[in-house]
A and B are shown apart, each in its own frame.
Chain A
Amino acid sequence: MAERRTLGAAFALSLVVALAALPHLLTYSQQEILVFLVINVLLVMSYRFLALTGEWSLGHVVMMGVGAYASALAAKRLGFPVPIAMLAGAAVSAAVAWVLSFPLFRMKGFYFLIGSFAAGEVIRLLWKRFRDPFGGPKGLKRIPEIADIEWGVLQVDFFNPVAYYYFCLAVVSLSLWLLWRLERSSIGLTFHAVHWHDGLAASVGVDTRRYRTLALVVASAFAGLSGALFAHYVGAINPTRFNIEEMVYVLTWAIVGGTATFYGPILGVVMLTVLNEVVLRKMGLEQARPLVYGAILIAFVMFLPRGLESVVPRLARLRLRRPGSARA
């Protein structure tokens, strides 16, 4: 047990060092991509949290947008400091999800999927329809960024992608820790029960609708936070940024990575972002992106239906079987 703990601590320490060093090994534009990658990790992980109850939504990216719009307006119109505005964005996203849960959880499965898409489209149309305050189809721009820090020798400019990466990394790490703790708690176990045996869970007194609502609200809050992180970095948002096409990307990350383990969606988003933003771009094959994404999705559904996460234990077993291995 002690050996396992030591190994775990060593792994965690190595991960922290690697994540801290990572931006310094990349080019400037790759640092920019890294910021978006970290934000997308939070988005896809919040999506997985919702999927724990067995419900797959097509409105999750719109909830990201709700957080982005709310945070941008709180900072622009109400003068909130950006970190407070971000929390407000997450709270508004959670509140909107709670309101939507009333009609949406009258449905299940495929009907919930379509219902969530319709609800998301209603929200997107509202952003387009009401130019004040949402800016209409052009959206919002000149969204305030986080104020620079100037404390003596410590000077941080958040326009710099490395500084914003560290900020995002801290926010996303804390968020993932909270999601992990929730999943490991009795609430998380109940989510699994609602997913796999909702009738049985209801028969022993579990209010399944309440737990589904809780998953939707929490997942939307973190999706909203990811939207706020995006809005205050790019400085501009519009309804197109949160459309169904973006949702398809999130679904692809989740399916390619797998959703059974905590790290599955992270593997998916990292692999596909590197493929999309680094490999295909470097090779000048951007126009082949839809083809590549389609091929990958089909290949994974056919040959790796449980995603990249299912490869990890196999690799671990292979390592253990290798001659000379400690446990061989």
Chain B
Amino acid sequence: MRDFFSKRLSRRRLIGAATRASGALAAASLLPQRVFAADNVIKIGFLAPLTGDVAAWGKPGLDGCRIWGEWMNAAGGVDIGDDNYHFEFVAYDNEYDPGKARAGATQLIHEDGVKFIMMLGGDTWPGVQPVADNTGMLFSTLLPSDLSPETTTLLAPAEVHPIYNVTGVDWLARNRPELENYVICAQDDALGIPSVATYLAAFEAAGIEALDDPLLFDPATTDFAPVVTRMLSAKPDIVCLDTAYTDYVHPICEQLYLQGFEGQIISCTADFYDKIIERTSVEFAEGLVFQFPDFDDPALETQGVNFREPNRFFEEYNQRHPGEWGAVSWEYASIMDLWTAAAVKAGSVEPDAVLAAMKEGGTGLHAFGEADWWGNELFGIDNALVGNWPVVVIENGKAVIKEFGNIPEWWSKHGDLLVKHMEAFGQMHYQRG
């Protein structure tokens, strides 16, 4: 090696070194990547973006699953039927591309022999849907807008995005009755649009007036000054950031701060909110309402919450991945709790048996309490697990759960409004694609 650097780097030497390195890489790639001692290993597929713009909603979830798996295995695994099993997660980076998601799904099913595949969903699900239909594999998504009556093996067991956003608006209307109007902006994509429809329904149900049409910006936007200027020109009491990616939420908040906004902010997510506070101030962020708690919140250690040791999980996660806790860090792990309970109940790890056990009785234990399998009116199939969802507010620079809002209760009163706005944006299952 010293010899390599001591001589002048020439084209021939570089090509030679590159060829040898490529050979070594190729040889290493043929070696087995995973070694596991236990005989009975349940392989679980993790098919989500681990690189690229959307990786923030994939990678932290995989990190959370690995902690969950280590805890389960350290506790001796789980007894399913007559056997004891350990867990292994097999990840495939789909780069948020439907073609790569399809290749990943086939690898996980045909080569890795997984029994269940967790996905972020969204743009990648349509590429995987034919694979699900052809193989009968059980899949989960974080985005229930992927659900459709055609695919019965796709579940949304953790996150009912964007329906839970109604709980934040409902809480705001009850606790800040002086707020009378709002403006909303969102990126014009598969995640932003159904969320806009949900917020419009929630604000209408709460009697809060829209000052302008939703401002839909292109996902390629990097300069948010004009977006914020236009929103603030209406002098709103509330600025709603919809379900925006971290790369949008942070600069929009910074612009709101710079342009002197002192009103209420509501957002679906506020991942890495400490960075928002760094770029603005503790006073500016005070009262920001969103939907994803830190798991060190004492409210999560109360009865009815079905996530295993949330405070310890949060501590462990932050030790291993400091500063990376986000909206999805716990969600995939909570899906694993649900899947494991169903597999134990079914006495089998086979997808059809687990699915039947999971949906038996029409209810399930969601992370935030008992919930119903629901969704026929919106998605054409009752495959979304819907119950309570936390409303989180930033107080003194820290996220605090204020209450657990009840989504089915809101739906029973205002479901027609949600259907109306979803239809207006072409988001009902019979309007898609």
Residues of A within 8 A of B (CB): 27-29, 32-33, 36, 125, 128, 131-132, 135-142, 145, 159, 161, 230, 233-238, 240-241, 243, 275, 277-279, 281-284, 286-287, 289-290, 299, 303-304, 311
Q: Between A and B, how many residue pairs show CB distances below 8 Å?
A: 121
Contacts of B93 in A (CB 8 A): 281, 286-287
Known: A27-B111, A28-B106, A29-B103. A140 touches B433 (CB 8 A): yes
Distance, CA A224 to CA B324, complexed state (A): 41
Distance, CA A199 to CA B358, complexed state (A): 73
Q: Are B104 and A29 in contact (CB under 8 A)?
A: yes
Distance between B65 CB and nearest chain A CB, rounded to angstroms: 15
Contacts of A283 in B (CB 8 A): 25, 28-29, 33
Distance, CA A233 to CA B433, complexed state (A): 16
Q: Are B426 and A131 in contact (CB under 8 A)?
A: yes
Distance between A292 CB and nearest chain B CB, rounded to angstroms: 10
Which residue of chain A is the closest to B26 with respect to CB atoms?
A279
Contacts of B29 in A (CB 8 A): 278-279, 282-283
Asked if B123 lies at the interface with its beta carbon under 8 angstroms from chain A, I say: yes
Which residue of chain A is the closest to B188 with respect to CB atoms?
A137
Distance between B154 CB and nearest chain A CB, rounded to angstroms: 13
Of B15, B51, B107, B110, which one neighbours A286 at CB under 8 angstroms? B51
Q: Are A32 and B103 in contact (CB under 8 A)?
A: yes
Distance, CA A246 to CA B208, complexed state (A): 42
Asked if B214 lies at the interface with its beta carbon under 8 angstroms from chain A, I say: no
Distance, CA A277 to CA B93, complexed state (A): 10
Contacts of A243 in B (CB 8 A): 220
Contacts of A136 in B (CB 8 A): 188, 193, 426
Q: Are B51 and A235 in contact (CB under 8 A)?
A: no
Known: A28-B110, A286-B93. A303 touches B11 (CB 8 A): yes
Distance between B108 CB and nearest chain A CB, rounded to angstroms: 8
Of B50, B99, B110, B218, which one neighbours A36 at CB under 8 angstroms? B99
Asked if B234 lies at the interface with its beta carbon under 8 angstroms from chain A, I say: no
Residues of B within 8 A of A (CB): 11, 14-15, 18, 22, 25-26, 28-30, 33, 50-51, 92-93, 95-99, 102-104, 106-107, 110-111, 123, 126-127, 129-130, 134, 188-190, 192-193, 218-220, 426, 432-433
Q: Are A137 and B193 in contact (CB under 8 A)?
A: yes
Known: A33-B103, A142-B126, A289-B51. A137 touches B219 (CB 8 A): yes
Q: Are B106 and A299 in contact (CB under 8 A)?
A: no
Contacts of B96 in A (CB 8 A): 240
Q: Are B103 and A238 in contact (CB under 8 A)?
A: no
Known: A138-B433, A278-B29. A128 touches B188 (CB 8 A): yes
Of A140, A159, A303, which one neighbours B130 at CB under 8 angstroms? A159
Contacts of B22 in A (CB 8 A): 275, 279
Contacts of A235 in B (CB 8 A): 98, 126-127, 129-130
Contacts of A161 in B (CB 8 A): 106
Contacts of B106 in A (CB 8 A): 28-29, 32, 161
Distance, CA A139 to CA B107, complexed state (A): 25
Contacts of B97 in A (CB 8 A): 241
Which residue of chain B is the closest to A29 with respect to CB atoms?
B107
Distance between B243 CB and nearest chain A CB, rounded to angstroms: 13
Distance between B220 CB and nearest chain A CB, rounded to angstroms: 8
Of B190, B220, B433, which one neighbours A142 at CB under 8 angstroms? B433
Contacts of A240 in B (CB 8 A): 96, 123, 189, 219
